Amino acid sequence: MGSYGATIPPHVLILPLPIQGHVNTMLKLAELLCLSSLDVTFMVSEFSHSRLLKHSTMISRFEQYPQFHFESISDGLHNDHPRAGEQVMDILPSTKNITGPLFKQMMVEKNLLSSNTRRPVTCIIADGVLSFACDLAEEKGIPLIFFCTISACSFWAYFCIPELIAAGEIPLKAGIGKDQIVKSVPGMEGFLRYRDLPSFCQVKDINESMLHSIESETRQTTRAQAVILNTFEDLEGAIVSHIQKHIPRIFTIGPNNAHLMDFNQKRKIKMEIKKPEKIYSNFYPLG
């Protein structure tokens, strides 16, 4: 990397889980990095890339950033797989078993995506459930940051799956309703109900593969140099403080779409606060 002049900027690789909500959120992060004059490669599944080309304004949106580049890679699923609805979670084992080895092969064969005008990748920002990116980063000595596109509360609940199992709160015991308060997620002991947990936590069989896959992928985020959360301190600061006991370097940058608002648009926004209560809504599509 030392042969590249100081005029060539750092090269960031962004690797999202190929689900619509994750891709959209990380595209916004990519644009923010382009605004900082960094070279950015966005590696997305072939299926997601095709959908972006057909159903979005991606080309016109990013043509103003000559330092932005797309790479596509297989997600391992058949072309006719819906990748949505009840089958959306099929992407997790597929990316681990198929995309992971392909990713390593591509990075090696393309010399970490370098060219005459681009350095080899100097930093990887990967989705928080793609541990194979961390495997390569550690092997090649590349700094890696995990970006968790879900809320801090959701991430923390996933992180505490081992505690939920140890306390006997997963699976739910017979005769106990779904309004039962879950007490093994610090910071949410007073309001988190069993029904609030994601469907893969509401299992009858403790050996359910998806439960342990999410547990494993979430726990490995501690390997990264830092973790980005798509939230802000005023909203989830109390939960972020619990996460920081396990992952000290946390950056709360969300909602990142707000950072892309044009300055002139911001000037038009007038906030009239009549009551101290605040409401924050973030509509987050999975598939």
Q: Which residues form the catalytic set?
A: 22, 127
**Spatial CA neighbour of 188 closest among 250, 234, 238:** 238
How far apart (Å, rounded) are the C-alpha atoms in residues 145 and 125? 5
**Three-state SS sequence of 261-274:** CCHHHHHHCCCCCC
Contact between 108 and 114 under an 8 Å Cβ cutoff? The reply is: no
How far apart (Å, rounded) are the C-alpha atoms in residues 66 and 115? 14
Q: Across-strand partners of 159? A: none
Amino acid at residue number 34: C
How far apart (Å, rounded) are the C-alpha atoms in residues 101 and 241? 35
**Spatial CA neighbour of 133 closest among 29, 14, 250, 42:** 14
